Structure 1
């Protein structure tokens, strides 16, 4: 028998109602999803692409919520729905927690399809971020003080010491927001809006896949110290362009022929 919640509806019924209530014709597909559905999609895509492996343990709910920038209640509801669907499992006891099932089922999930439908939108946001961030780092390279460079390096250190993607994501986003703040350009709020629109398409990654991005961050700080805007642009474009390979739609793409 399918479990029902306090409203008397199953989670599947509740998700469908939530989806219809949030539908907005003409908007990007992901904007028509509930927050719970986006949590489901991001975890499902990570499982599908082997970024979260069978038997792997997920971080605590509060950390997942912080990494995905949703409320703890939303994260908990998303995880519970995936447990009900057999994708995740709960284990009790000293070494318990939430784990990826050993043989997670393949779900025809509407939220995952919404992410796939939005690939053209994601590519547009990457282009937009590349252009806007290039302008921001030019001005940041001219403005940055040694104290601000040290603040950026502390965020790199925190990211490097993170145990998982969710811990990494918090100082990583703070790094980019601080760079924008250092630029002091009047267009920063517009840039941050575009940057945050792209964030919702990120999926949890294993730590070893994050080292290249941290290296780019360190190179950017070095360019700031040298007052070298051209070097700052070069590393920023390389950093942002990597998203085309690293985001969910690029993981299974064929490498370019040499």
Structure 2
């Protein structure tokens, strides 16, 4: 599968036709989720207006209103010319206990962590039970390698992409859609706490064991490793909230 096809498949889990009546609001929600997940990294371009409007099922006028809000918020910028378009800007860092507690007030942390664990564990089990195609195995190994090689500031984005890849390969588009949503909420919380090198090293050991279990079709092992991995993230967040 070509790289562009992989990106297109991944966007399908986030960008879907909106319901009539709330086109602007729902389109804004979906594109914000896309940015929170880091599916299109800073410096890269959003899909062309026509393609994006068609994917969301809205008019280009409505889409431009959405993009204006994102521009006003400093999340994207419009560039003219032959290689122009709407480009993603770096998100300002939002670190610290005060910001974490503010964001906690907008999300049910316990529910988010539980739902994330159910979906992640389920995806790992499905991938291992059903087995992966050669292309799927290559995608999963590539996502793991990308986390291993990630600079510190890129780690969380590539970690997100690894987990999204696993859910996409599970064979359940519905699972992938729900995971993208809950992961965006989780990332809003994780972005407020520091990156701890020892924690990331432990996380990478778990990632490696997880992928090995999936590729060995060891469903119980894959579920066990993923459950432990999710519990580690939950413990880290609870530590900063206590």
Q: What residue is the counterpart of 1:234 in the other structure? A: 224
Answering whether residue 239 of structure 2 is matched by residue 250 of structure 1, we say yes
Give the number of the structure whose alpha-carbon radius of gyration is greater. 1
**Any idea what the Cα deviations from partners look like across 1:44-63, whole Å, max 9, x if unmatched?**
xxxxxxxxxxxxxxxxxx59
CA RMSD of aligned residues (A): 3.4
Inter-partner Cα distance in structure 2 for 1:131 and 1:114? 26
Contact 1:144 1:225 in 2 (8 A): yes
Q: What residue is the counterpart of 1:208 in the other structure? A: 198
Q: TM-score, normalised by structure 2?
A: 0.55
User: What displacement does 1:184 show?
Assistant: 1.3
SS in 1 for 2:217: coil
One of 110, 115, 118 as aligned partner of 1:123? 110
Q: TM-score, normalised by structure 1?
A: 0.52
- How is 1:1-258 mapped onto 2 (pairs within 5 angstroms)? 71=75, 78=92, 111-117=99-105, 121-141=108-128, 142-164=130-152, 166-188=153-175, 189-203=177-191, 204-247=194-237, 249-251=238-240
Structure 1: tracts of 5 or more residues without a match: 1-34, 40-61, 64-69, 88-105, 254-258
SS in 1 for 2:239: coil
Q: What residue is the counterpart of 1:92 in the other structure? A: none
**Any idea what the Cα deviations from partners look like across 1:159-185, whole Å, max 9, x if unmatched?**
222221x31122211111111111111
Contact 1:163 1:207 in 2 (8 A): no
**Any idea what the Cα deviations from partners look like across 1:49-97, whole Å, max 9, x if unmatched?**
xxxxxxxxxxxxx59xxxxxx8267977956xx9xxxx9xxxxxxxxxx
Inter-partner Cα distance in structure 1 for 2:228 and 2:122? 14
Inter-partner Cα distance in structure 2 for 1:117 and 1:217? 30
Contact 1:137 1:179 in 2 (8 A): yes
**Any idea what the Cα deviations from partners look like across 1:194-228, whole Å, max 9, x if unmatched?**
22221111134143321111111111111112211
Inter-partner Cα distance in structure 1 for 2:145 and 2:211? 13
Cα gap change, 1:77 to 1:163, in 2 (>3 Å): closer
User: What displacement does 1:146 show?
Assistant: 3.9
- The total of aligned residue pairs comes to 160
